[in-house]
């Protein structure tokens, strides 16, 4: 906008931009006219943005502000055509129109894939137990069980038998970890067998 104002001011004043070795009084008068034109143009812009003598308006948690301004209306949902999740959110509450739907076929399939991959990794620690690679046993169990527990908790939700089976598996898994920490091959092998039996029981319930 500034470029437009300057161009208009220069055009209306008829000032020549060509260099001149002699500065006449007429040239000085024209420059003064240009300056006055630019100043008046900016004064008009300022008047459009704020009324003279008015102080800035702002709100506290949407109270006392100016809802006619874009920032206030958008920030607190005043100009929204539907209820919002909270005064600070542009999104509506969960409902039929929500993009995310818990328990959808896609989500269940994703959780089952996470569980399946985790089960494969947990199952292979018997090789580490046989080789007495105790740190590898514990590292594999610790590395994968966070995602595995999340998937199992999701898949067991609302299923009492599966809830019981997952807790049994968690206990057996911790026993394998403890036996490995003690570097006890016999105990670790036994606990591994119990852990895999508990895992198999859970798998049949989901």
Q: How many residues are listed for the chain in this entry?
A: 206
pTM of the shown model: 0.57
Percent of the chain whose predicted confidence (pLDDT) is above 90: 46
pLDDT for the residue 18 = 45
Tell me how far apart the alpha carbons of residues 96 and 75 are, in angstroms, rounded to a whole number.
25
Q: CATH 1.20.120.290 occupies which residues in the chain?
A: 105-203
What's the Rg (C-alpha) of the chain?
37
Considering the domain 105-203, what is its CATH architecture? Up-down Bundle (1.20)
Establish how many alpha carbons lie within 13 A of residue 156's alpha carbon, considering only the half-sphere containing its beta carbon: 22
The confidence score (pLDDT) of residue 167 equals 96
Which ranges of the chain have pLDDT less than 50?
1-2, 4-6, 8-10, 13-22, 42, 44-48, 71-73
Within the chain, residue ranges assigned H as helices are 2-13, 25-49, 70-75, 105-123, 125-130, 134-156, 160-181, 185-203
């Amino acid at each position: 906008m500034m470029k437009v104002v300057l161009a208009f001011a220069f055009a209306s004043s008829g000032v020549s931009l060509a260099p001149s070795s002699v500065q006449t009084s007429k040239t000085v008068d024209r420059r003064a006219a240009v300056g006055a034109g630019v100043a008046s143009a900016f004064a008009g812009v300022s008047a459009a943005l704020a009324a003279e003598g008015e102080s800035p308006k702002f709100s506290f948690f949407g109270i006392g502000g100016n809802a006619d301004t874009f920032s206030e209306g958008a920030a607190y949902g005043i100009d929204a055509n539907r209820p919002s999740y909270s005064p600070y959110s542009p999104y509506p509450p969960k409902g039929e129109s929500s993009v995310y739907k818990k328990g959808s076929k896609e989500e269940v399939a994703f959780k089952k894939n996470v569980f399946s991959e985790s089960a494969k990794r947990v199952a292979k620690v018997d090789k580490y137990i046989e080789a007495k690679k105790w740190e590898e046993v514990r590292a594999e169990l610790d590395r994968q069980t966070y995602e595995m527990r999340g998937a199992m908790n999701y898949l067991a939700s609302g299923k009492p038998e599966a809830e019981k089976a997952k807790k049994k598996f968690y206990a057996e898994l911790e026993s394998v970890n403890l036996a490995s920490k003690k570097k006890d091959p016999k105990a670790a092998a036994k606990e591994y067998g119990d852990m895999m039996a508990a895992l198999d029981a859970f798998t049949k319930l989901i």
